[in-house]
Amino acid sequence: MSYKFSKEELKNLLIDYNEIALKDKKEVPSKVYIWDETLRDGEQSPTVYLTLDEKIHLAKLMDEIGVELIAVGYPAVSETEKSIVKIIVNEDCKNASIMGIARPRKEDIDACIEADLEEIVVFMPISPMFMKTLKLTEEDELNQITSAIHYAKDNGFKVNWVSEDGTRAEFEHIKNVFKTAIDAGAERVVIGDTVGILTPQSASYLVGRIRDEVIKPLKNKVPMGIHTHNDFGLAVANTITGVFEGCTYPHTCINGYGERAGNAALEEVVTILERMNIDTGIDLTKLPELSEVCEEYFCLPLAQNKPIVGEYAFSHESGLHIAAILAHPLTYEPINPKMVGRRRKFYLGKFSGSKSIIHALKKKISVLDLDNIPEGVIRKIVNEVKKKHETQSKQEIRKSFHIIKNEIKKISQGVSDRDFFEIVNKYAQPYVPAEFKPKPKQKPQLNE
């Protein structure tokens, strides 16, 4: 299809402030390595659990599309979790490194050893509130970090360090924690925005200071990562900002799944970075398949307007928009949908115009020669399409909406209060004080 504007013309017609803003920024990396948390943090989405087969399938799909690091679980949680991690490790992913997580404790690291892991993530919360809760001093934390990483290294692990709740910690403690972890042998360090409180401005400030005051003074620079949560809808923005400040290991979750409001969405992070000419190593054309499989396994339906992978991400109804798209897609699309394995869709409805009707005639009944339809006939078709859409029963639409909402509640309710109390009653009945036990039902007395 020929468009109204050539590539050369578009360079002058579209001003790219993203490119301008980063033109002289020396810290922006040319390549990043995706560290995905879907099978660990993502599975902590409320009511979600994955089967072993589902975890293996998702790990292999991520491995195939170019994810560098895949965190798959927490071996110390239980024997079952340890067994699951061990099985995934031995599935022999071709490209990605499989990781398990551990607190800075010997027993956690031992569980990782038993799970056949070669690379682990050691983490600890470092904010004052957490330290008070855990009854730890700053010195206690630094000692635990040193001992744990030394023990892990002595057992042959490649070690990554994550500062949980690092974005609410005193900066001097952040510095000391990272320096301690690096001195002990950590090969990567990660700042964790555990409750999603950063904004792009504060992310830029904090990551920039860590880069300048911790990483740059080192002779052998240690790569830095960023882990964000989406409590205020800024996980992707903060992750991208972290990359612009030098983080080369952005953390992601497929479809933005994760605890509470979720984590930075894999498909959004990598597409934005690739658009900014930062190599992610990801095959973007396979993102829709990965997203769809993960959505089914998580049983958490995506919004239709979800960026990149949502049903409406490259869809148009407005007549003005469709007319402009037909002149050139970049008028109302920031990227070519083919870049991410998608196709654009035109919808007919209230906002359709003559351009979209003509386009629909050519596409939907292309076997007919309809180039000579009079303008008056086109106008009648346009009016009829608008009328058809506007006269659809809103009551019926709303009825369907409530059915869908109720069905979603069924698949995301977890264990009900009734189920919970039945389980408690089953095992705890002997320990319940007599006055709280239900009184036995008395048989009705027959009248003599």
Whether the CB-CB separation of 207 and 247 falls below 8 Å is answered with yes
In a domain? residue 67? yes
Claim to verify: residue 126 and residue 67 sit in the same structural domain: yes
Claim to verify: residue 321 and residue 420 sit in the same structural domain: no
For residue 446, pLDDT beyond 90 = no
Count of the separate structural domains present in the chain: 3
Claim to verify: residue 157 and residue 293 sit in the same structural domain: yes
Claim to verify: residue 112 and residue 66 sit in the same structural domain: yes
At residue 395's C-alpha, the angle toward residues 390 and 399, to 5°, is 130
Q: Within 10 A of 213 (CB to CB), how many other CB atoms are there?
A: 15
Claim to verify: residue 174 and residue 236 sit in the same structural domain: yes
Tell me what pLDDT residue 77 has: 94
In a domain? residue 434? no
Claim to verify: residue 111 and residue 177 sit in the same structural domain: yes
Claim to verify: residue 221 and residue 83 sit in the same structural domain: yes
Strands 35-36 and 249-252: parallel
At residue 222's C-alpha, the angle toward residues 219 and 227, to 5°, is 155
Going by C-alpha positions, the residue among 277, 339, 240 that lies closest to residue 30 is 277
| pLDDT tens for each residue of 240-288 | 999 999 999 999 999 999 999 999 999 999 999 999 999 999 999 999 9
Residues 6+ apart with CB under 8 A from 235: 196, 228, 229, 256, 261, 262, 263, 264, 265
> For the stretch 101-134, what's the b/e string if a residue is b when 16 or more beta carbons lie within 10 angstroms of its beta carbon?
bbbbbeebbebbbebbbebbbbbbbbbeebbeee
Domain boundary among the residues 298, 326, 352 is at 298
In a domain? residue 202? yes
Of these ranges, 40-49, 207-216, 329-338, 393-402, the one predicted with the greatest mean pLDDT is: 207-216
Claim to verify: residue 136 and residue 276 sit in the same structural domain: yes
Claim to verify: residue 263 and residue 325 sit in the same structural domain: no
Q: What is the CATH number for 56?
A: 3.20.20.70
Claim to verify: residue 365 and residue 400 sit in the same structural domain: no
pTM to 2 decimal places: 0.85
In a domain? residue 309? no
In a domain? residue 152? yes
Domain boundary among the residues 331, 365, 385 is at 385
Tell me what pLDDT residue 430 has: 81
Claim to verify: residue 203 and residue 348 sit in the same structural domain: no
Domain boundary among the residues 298, 333, 361 is at 298
In a domain? residue 18? no
C-alpha to C-alpha distance for 308 and 291, rounded to whole angstroms: 10
Whether the CB-CB separation of 250 and 215 falls below 8 Å is answered with no
Q: Residue 372 — pLDDT band, cuts 50, 70, 90?
A: low
Question: What is the total residue count of the chain?
Answer: 448
| pLDDT tens for each residue of 126-151 | 999 999 999 999 999 999 999 999 99
Range of the domain at 403: 394-428
Structure tokens at 333: 């699309």
Structure tokens at 434: 């007599």
In a domain? residue 7? no
Going by C-alpha positions, the residue among 190, 110, 188 that lies closest to residue 151 is 110
C-alpha to C-alpha distance for 119 and 153, rounded to whole angstroms: 10
Whether the CB-CB separation of 283 and 271 falls below 8 Å is answered with no
**DSSP letters of 392-410?**
S-HHHHHHHHHHHHHHHHH
In a domain? residue 14? no
Claim to verify: residue 247 and residue 365 sit in the same structural domain: no
